[in-house]
Amino acid sequence: MVFKVLCALDTADLDEALSITRKLGGIVGGFKVGHGLVLNHGLDVVDRLTDAGAQRIFLDLKFHDIPNSIALAVREAAKRNVWMMTLHIAGGPAMLEAAVYEARSSGENSPLLIGVSVLTSLDQHILTDLLGVQRTIPDHMVQLSKMAMDCGMDGVVCSPAEVATIRQAIGRQGCIVTPGIRHEMGEAHDQHRVGTAQQALSDGADYLVIGRAITHSPNIETALEEFGFDKLAS
């Protein structure tokens, strides 16, 4: 089993998601569930995927709201035994601390809280010229990631381009989840900052999120081998 790979279920079709889960349940380390599935089917989708063979669910809804609303969201996710979930670090310390408190209060069902700083679909032009952030992407991500860890979060998301920088900034205290994983010559799709699995893991990533490159492949095990996971599996 390739525990480091989290398969992104980038679909709103529950039957498709269940089919992928049955195929990959004993191969990958977990499944990332986003807005498409949850808005269409509610949090019951977590139970359905678990029944289909998903051992760990990564709820990627990128919560960003006032502290009380986020605490309620974390509480509901914990009731479903969600393994990991994302929050926007830009929500600020009070929001993050409320989420951490609620997660820890859920006992053994406590989900891992992962902070999102700069989406992999953004580039420096968008960040600076359109969003008004004067830091470089790496500098902005470092500042937000350190704040997240100071608030008690369990880890952060970053693209392959920033893994080494973020790992140096937060040390080994938090885990790093990395989307934007592609083959050497693979398509970037709607993400600007992408990289290879080998480089991301070498730089310090703990988990790699891969979606279309494996779920749309006619031979999933071959697709994983092309990423080099025959050597990197653990």
> Which tens digit of pLDDT belongs to each residue from 119-135?
988 899 999 999 999 99
CB-CB contact of 183 with 226 (8 Å): yes
Q: How far is CA 106 from the centre of its chain?
A: 21
Q: Which residue has the higher pLDDT, 21 or 3?
A: 21
Average pLDDT over residues 166-192: 77
Domain ranges of the chain: 2-232
pLDDT at 231 over 60: no
Q: What is the pLDDT of residue 232?
A: 52
| pTM score of the predicted model | 0.91
pLDDT at 176 over 80: yes
CATH of domain 2-232: 3.20.20.70
pLDDT at 32 over 80: yes
Q: What is the pLDDT of residue 190?
A: 47
Q: What is the pLDDT of residue 188?
A: 45
Picking from 188, 173, 192, the residue whose alpha carbon sits closest to that of residue 112 is: 173
Please list, in sequence order, all residues whose beta carbon lies within 8 angstroms of the beta carbon of residue 143, skipping any fewer than 6 positions away.
135
Tokens for 154? 């369990």
Length of the chain: 234
Average pLDDT over residues 209-214: 89
Supply φ then ψ for residue 61, to 5 degrees: -105, -5
Average pLDDT over residues 136-156: 97
**Residues 4-24: b if buried by 16+ CB within 10 A, e if exposed:** bbbbbbbbeebeebbebbebb
Catalytic center residues: 62
Query: How does residue 187 score in pLDDT terms, banded at 50, 70 and 90?
Result: low
